[in-house]
Amino acid sequence: MAPACAQRLAYDECDGRHSAGFRGDRYGAWQGRVLQGDGFITAIGGNDYRTLEHPVTGGVVFYAVNLRMQQPISGYASVVPAADLHTQFCELGANSGYQTQHLLWTTAKGVVTKNLDGTKKQTLLQRFDLDRGTWSAWCALGDGQSLLDANGRVTLPPRVADCKLPAQCIEARYLSKGSAQTLEIHRVSLARTAEEALLPVTSPSATAAAPSTQDPTAKTSNTAALITPRLAPVEVPLIPWPRSLERNHGALTLPATFKIATDSATLDAHAAVFAAELQVLTGSKGHVAHEPDTDAIIRLRLDKTLASEAHTITITDAVTVCGSDAVAIAHGTASLLHLLDTKENGWQWECLRITDSPTCSYRGLLVDVARKPHPIATLTQLVTLCRLYKVRYLQLHLTDDQAFTFPSTAFPKLATKGHSYTQAELSYLEAFATARGVSIVPEFDVPGHCGALIKAMPELFRAHDLHHATIAFVKPEVLLAVDTILGEMLAIFPSAPFCHIGGDEADLEHVLENPIFAAALKDTGLDSAEELYRHFLCQLRERILARGKQMIVWEGFAATGKVTIPRDVIVMAFESLYHTPDKLVENGYPVINASWQPLYVVNDRCWSEREIYAWNRGHFQHFIEGYPAFRGIDVPVNQVLGAQLCAFEQPAELELQSLRKRLAAMAERTWNEGAGRSFEDFAARLQHSDRRLDQLLGNLR
């Protein structure tokens, strides 16, 4: 019988009896698992995660997994630790790109070993030095004991040696992924020594190491566990950190039934949402009433003296939230969702007073629904994510070369079959978001990125046979069509004060070969396609202003030109290439920071929440050497409206997992820029907030 392992941090013997240190994540426990002998079988297509209870933030740790495939496969299988979904370290399986059936493969190094017999039981052992930021990997047939010498140490050379880690924290997970397949998993273990990682746990007394109370950022030379405890106690579990917080003695318990009183009908929709959220979290049932209602335990009140989005929260013998409008009230109730805690006497709020308002007026998340289909259910999850972290705007990239997802009634042929929404779906999404204090910003990307538009109606939109994505934007009937579609979009999404028209990466190389463009030069007195493009942006700006909205564009127009782009056009600076942010600010344009680094999340091209937390809204950077912002461009923060995290090209099933922690980091940096909190403090609060998100989405109770 193996001894109890004091330095074993998490394990699962996959026998239904011996496991500790992991919790279900996103999809809960393993789906489709079937116990069989000393392991379990999973035949899942897609992802199924388990997450560490105790994220590892320092020291050296060993991860071992024992598995086999029941037959050769055409997909690939992973049972790996990671910092997040996009930083897998090691996997065993088949990969058609390497034309081999079985291999040990790493995201950082490529193929390490080909032609492993995956149908035989394999052990993968990985060593992570989180202080140095490196990892190494070994593999062996059987239970992995052949990797150990007589002293229980690994002395064999690794298959992967000192590869750079993409993050200095292991938070997630082991998983099965790939096409439908049959995979046997026999043991997963995380420990401070290789010997303990490879030893089976056969006794219920051999439990995972207790959480350490040490400073998780401290350094040590021995094997003492440097672990952030599971839901470690924090001062106040709230993200973003508020401007002012006064804690008082006592607590208020939420009863089994409760009232939410509002003093305006404009708050009723949100009050109903908040009551439903509290029921999901606690089981308590609430209903909405109108003041005066002195026995209401929660009171939502308008206070027009407060600035936009500003709010106060007072918790004594009742909860009172005051705000300038329903959005401000929603921010206040979002804080209450974070602060609600379960105690011996039930669900409670600590007595306190918060006075809060955002530093940045624009705090956004972009989701690319044009390149990959996103069901409404995914988008409602992301609305909930935005709500929890007080992210005001959700931009939908509705059109691109791959699909036109908007259901135009004026031009019904445009909607891409099998990859578009109905008006009822989008109207539902708008109502869902508005009731939660989130405004949807529609994006109709023109005059470039219009491949789907041109494919559907080439007779109207095509500019040139050599252009697959640039429309004939100088044609009056094209301008009318774009204006009509924008009007339809704004009718469905009325809550946001903005309309995004893209405006980036328009290919103008051959458009002047089209007689229509040559005639437009003569009619306007302009002398280049670039000037016609600038003129088109001005035309759209006039039409959007006439509808009471402000136009947003991606940086795309040059810093100089004969046609002046009005200074009320908001520019999202993303590549810092076409019109760099320092010049945009110098030229008087309102700027939103959507910098590639660290605010883009594009599958494997993304940055950690630690890097986002270290960033500020005045810093713009690009990862490509030779770009103007490769080494960074900084502008005064007070000249930047805010920031937006941009998720492009990702499949729907990856969005929530890849965005949940990154968005929280950006939210705190844009809500209360001067909070002066450390990343370690933020990370501790994030454990609570991320668990609360799962609870709100119904994944955990």
Say yes or no to pLDDT of 28 above 60: no
* Alpha carbon distance 423, 428 (integer Å): 8
Say yes or no to pLDDT of 206 above 50: no
| pLDDT per position as a tens digit, 54-88 | 677 778 888 888 777 666 544 445 555 544 444 44
Say yes or no to pLDDT of 686 above 70: yes
CA atoms within 13 A on the CB side of 107: 19
* Residue that the structure tokens 């999340």 belong to: 601
| pLDDT per position as a tens digit, 302-312 | 999 999 999 99
Proportion of the chain above pLDDT 90, given as a percent: 61
According to DSSP, the residues that pair with 573 across neighbouring strands are 593
More confident call, 217 vs 558: 558
According to DSSP, the residues that pair with 257 across neighbouring strands are 285
Residue 228: which pLDDT band, with cuts at 50, 70 and 90? very low
* Alpha carbon distance 271, 69 (integer Å): 51
Residue 479: which pLDDT band, with cuts at 50, 70 and 90? very high
* Alpha carbon distance 335, 138 (integer Å): 46
* Alpha carbon distance 54, 63 (integer Å): 14
Task: Classify residue 342 as exposed, middle or buried by CB count within 10 Å of its CB (0-12, 13-18, 19+).
Answer: exposed
Say yes or no to pLDDT of 220 above 80: no
137-141, 193-197, 434-438: range with highest mean pLDDT: 434-438
User: Which residues contact residue 402 at a Cβ distance below 8 angstroms, ignoring those fewer than 6 apart?
Assistant: 370, 371, 416, 419, 451, 452
Residue 315: which pLDDT band, with cuts at 50, 70 and 90? very high
DSSP, collapsed to helix, strand or coil, labels residue 452 as helix
> Using an 8 Å Cβ cutoff, are 167 and 108 in contact?
no
Minimal CA–CA distance to 68: which of 41, 88, 90, 107? 41
- Segment among 98-107, 459-468, 590-599 with least mean pLDDT: 98-107
pLDDT of residue 582: 96
Residue 93: which pLDDT band, with cuts at 50, 70 and 90? very low
More confident call, 23 vs 276: 276
Say yes or no to pLDDT of 653 above 80: yes
Question: Taking each helix axis from N to C terminus, what angle separates 515-524 and 529-546, rounded to the nearest 10 degrees?
Answer: 70
> Using an 8 Å Cβ cutoff, are 172 and 25 in contact?
yes
pLDDT of residue 414: 98
107-111, 156-160, 500-504, 671-675: range with highest mean pLDDT: 500-504
Structural tokens at position 616: 């500020």
Cα 51–chain centre separation: 17
Say yes or no to pLDDT of 27 above 80: no
pLDDT of residue 218: 34
CA atoms within 13 A on the CB side of 100: 16
Say yes or no to pLDDT of 48 above 90: no
pLDDT of residue 9: 79
* Alpha carbon distance 227, 209 (integer Å): 10
Say yes or no to pLDDT of 204 above 50: no
User: Which residues contact residue 132 at a Cβ distance below 8 angstroms, ignoring those fewer than 6 apart?
Assistant: none
- Segment among 102-106, 158-162, 375-379, 688-692 with least mean pLDDT: 102-106
pLDDT of residue 56: 75
More confident call, 100 vs 420: 420
Q: What is the mean pLDDT of the chain?
A: 83
pTM above 0.75, yes or no: no
- Segment among 2-6, 192-196, 590-594 with least mean pLDDT: 2-6
Length of the chain: 701
* Cis peptide preceding 412, ω within 30 of 0: no
* Alpha carbon distance 502, 28 (integer Å): 38
